[in-house]
């Protein structure tokens, strides 16, 4: 069953059309990486998948629910779709533990003790149990991003969206974050990852989508796309980043 189905998606900011007729399908347990030059619409595409951006046209079906339909409860859908941002966006006034438990407690009315138990399990998973009582301000960039991933996982989502999760990190921090994401992919999480990490896309991605100028120019299995790109724009982009 497909987890994400995007049909003829369009998105405009004012008069500027940023996404032009995007069509894409993501299957359950699939890891899809989105690459492309800056300004090509990768983030906007990702943000349309949980309606963080209002959608101008077309259809976006998430786990069977058309989120362009205004009658659906978008907050319910978002609980199933975790998102990880380039700049982490942890809640600085809450401890690491509270960052993880807030969603389950306030939204799902989970018992505090149960929420904390799950939070500690997730912190174990990202290797940060000992930081549970710290505030985000006391963490390094790589640690913040791993907490942000754990925070999204605390809602037990079916899909995880990543928007350049390692772009704001010092190089020596990137590995730890990618490692957590690899583990997640191995466990069968459905993932859409906007990234500049071509190594990650090649190794972990089931499919790579290349975007340019608001279009999906081409998509393929990683090895195929990287070694045998079909379009000139893909070739030009890859020659710069590989």
Partner 1 sequence: MDIISAAIPMLLKGLQVTLYIFVIAIILGFIIGLVIALLKLAPSKILNWIAKVYVDAIRGTPFIVQLFFIYFGVNSLHLVSLNSTTAGIVTVAINAGAYFAEIIRAGIQSIDKGQTEAARSIGFTGAQTMRYVVLPQAFRRMLPTITNQSIISLKDTSLLSVIGIADLTQQGQIQASATFEAFKIWLAVGVIYFIIIYLLTILANFIERRIQLR
Ligand X SMILES: Nc1ncnc2c1ncn2[C@@H]1O[C@H](COP(=O)(O)OP(=O)(O)O)[C@@H](O)[C@H]1O
Closer of 61 and 102 to partner 1 (Cβ): 102
Closer of 42 and 207 to ligand X (Cβ): 42
Q: Tell how strand 207-212 and strand 31-35 pair up.
A: parallel
Minimum gap (Å) between residue 47 Cβ and Mg ion: 9
Closer of 18 and 173 to ligand X (Cβ): 18
Q: Which does residue 91 bind out of ligand X, Mg ion, partner 1, none, counting CB within 5 to 8 angstroms by kind?
A: partner 1
* Rounded Cα gap, residues 154 and 240, in angstroms: 38
Residues of the shown chain interacting with ligand X in the complex, contacts defined by CB under 6 A: 13, 18, 36, 38-44
CB 217 within 8 A of CB 57: no
Asked whether position 166 contacts Mg ion by CB under 5 A, the answer is no
The per-residue DSSP string of 112-163 comes to HHHHHHHHHHHHHHTT-GGGTTS-GGGS-HHHHHHHHHHHHHTT--SEEEEE
Q: Rounded to an integer, what is the distance from CA 15 to the centroid of its chain? A: 27
Residues of the shown chain interacting with partner 1 in the complex, contacts defined by CB under 8 A: 50, 52, 75-76, 78-79, 81-83, 85, 87, 89-93, 102-103, 106-107, 135, 148, 151-152, 155
Structure tokens at 99: 């960052």
Minimum gap (Å) between residue 103 Cβ and partner 1: 4
CB 157 within 8 A of CB 187: no
Closer of 81 and 194 to partner 1 (Cβ): 81
Minimum gap (Å) between residue 240 Cβ and partner 1: 28
Measuring CA to CA, which residue among 97, 103, 61 is closest to residue 83? 103
Burial class (CB in 10 A: 0-12, 13-18, 19+), 115: buried
Q: How many residues of this chain interact with Mg ion, rule: CB under 5 A?
A: 1
Residue nearest to Mg ion (CB): 43
Asked whether position 43 contacts Mg ion by CB under 5 A, the answer is yes
Closer of 18 and 204 to ligand X (Cβ): 18
Closer of 86 and 134 to ligand X (Cβ): 86
Closer of 74 and 198 to partner 1 (Cβ): 74
Q: Which does residue 230 bind out of ligand X, partner 1, Mg ion, none, counting CB within 5 to 8 angstroms by kind?
A: none
Q: Which stretch binds Mg ion (CB under 5 A): 25-33, 39-47, 107-115, 195-203?
A: 39-47
CB 212 within 8 A of CB 237: yes
Count, residues in the chain: 242
- Enumerate residues 6+ apart whose C-beta is below 8 A from 177: 142, 145, 146, 149, 165, 166, 169
Count of other CB atoms within 10 angstroms of residue 216: 22
Minimum gap (Å) between residue 53 Cβ and partner 1: 10
Residues of this chain that bind Mg ion (CB under 5 A): 43
């Amino acid at each position: 069953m497909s987890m994400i189905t995007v049909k003829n998606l369009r998105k405009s900011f004012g008069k500027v059309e940023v996404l032009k007729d995007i069509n894409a399908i993501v299957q359950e347990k699939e890891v899809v990486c989105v690459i492309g030059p800056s300004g090509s619409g990768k983030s906007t595409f990702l943000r349309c998948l949980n309606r963080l951006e209002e959608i101008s046209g077309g259809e976006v079906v998430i786990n069977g629910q058309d989120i362009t339909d205004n009658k659906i409860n978008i907050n319910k859908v978002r609980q199933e779709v975790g998102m990880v941002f380039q700049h982490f966006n942890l809640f600085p006034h809450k401890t690491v533990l509270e960052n993880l438990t807030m969603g389950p407690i306030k939204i799902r009315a989970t018992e505090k003790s149960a929420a904390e138990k799950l939070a500690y399990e997730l912190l174990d998973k990202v290797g940060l149990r000992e930081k549970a009582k710290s505030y985000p301000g006391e963490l390094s960039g790589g640690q913040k991003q791993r907490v942000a991933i754990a925070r999204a996982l605390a809602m037990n989502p079916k899909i995880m969206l990543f928007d350049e999760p390692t772009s704001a990190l010092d190089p020596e921090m990137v590995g730890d974050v990618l490692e957590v994401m690899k583990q997640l992919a191995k466990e069968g999480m459905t993932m859409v990852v906007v990234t500049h990490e071509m190594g990650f896309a090649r190794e972990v991605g089931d499919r790579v989508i290349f975007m340019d100028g608001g279009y999906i120019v081409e998509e393929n299995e990683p090895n195929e796309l990287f070694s045998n790109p079909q379009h000139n724009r893909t070739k030009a982009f890859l020659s710069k980043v590989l």
